[in-house]
Chain A
Amino acid sequence: MIDYALAERLHGHLAVLALAVLLHPVITLRTRRAVTRGTKWTTDLAALLLSAPFVAGLLLYPSYRGEVKGGLLASAPAAAAAFETKEHLAVMAVALVIAGAVVVRAAGQTLEGRRAAWALLTAGWACGALTGALGIWVASKG
């Protein structure tokens, strides 16, 4: 039996931490003319930190469907729908942030590479932030 309260908190807190770390490259890729070592490290760290709760979410999802979703659909159908929206956006956020991290490492020395990385990471951050907001709202209903 999974302790959903604990798993949900770990999942959410890791994701929030990842989004906070991700703000560093999102800002510095726009404000600095070159990619610093710090930007590379925070981008890598953010990609890792965002991937961890995503994988945890994938592992929890089947149990959630079996043990929680039915009750949530009965008591708060809008929250159950928002949960699925959150999952869609999470897939996009992880794909964008991992790609952004690779672009920073592999092409951060070019202007085109920095702009591409910024676009990918910013879109990933926005998807992640929306995912987090939906997650908080769903948790408040669960």
Chain B
Amino acid sequence: MTRVAAAFAVGAVAVCVSYAAQRLGSAYGGEVDARMVLANEHIPYFYRAALALLHGVVVGVGAGLAIDDAAAVRVLGRVPALVLLVVVPAALLMVAVP
């Protein structure tokens, strides 16, 4: 069960990183102007959220399969640092880039 916990924890971090990377990539590379909302049928938010979920599942399942219970405990021990160093900056960047 510890492997399941580690897989979900790593997967959640991957969702956050993937979403932030996609949004920042769009902001940098150019996205349809928000004022064109009525003419734009593509909904970037849905694509970003779906792709981030896919990345989270792939990374989480991969991590869960790749590690044993002892390694899972070590991974869980690093989750607070991952959250502080990766997720919090990603969230702050999302506040800066609407």
Kindly state whether residue A52 has any CB partner on chain B within 8 Å: no
Q: B5 interface residue, CB < 8 Å from A?
A: yes
The answer to whether B79 and A69 have CB atoms under 8 Å apart is no
Q: Interface extent on B, as a size class?
A: 35 or more
Interface residues contributed by chain A, number (CB under 8 Å)? 40
Interface SS of chain B: helix
Complex Cα distance A95/B8, Å?
A: 9
Contacts of A65 in B (CB 8 A): 37, 43
| Residues of chain A whose beta carbon lies under 8 Å from any beta carbon of chain B | 58, 61-62, 65-66, 69-70, 73, 80-82, 84-85, 87-89, 91-92, 95-96, 98-100, 102-103, 105-107, 110, 112-113, 115-116, 118-120, 123, 126-127, 130
Residues of B within 8 A of A (CB): 1-2, 4-6, 8-9, 11-12, 15-16, 19-20, 23, 34-35, 37-38, 43, 45-46, 48-49, 52-53, 56, 72-74, 76-77, 79-80, 83-84, 87-88, 90-91, 94-95, 98
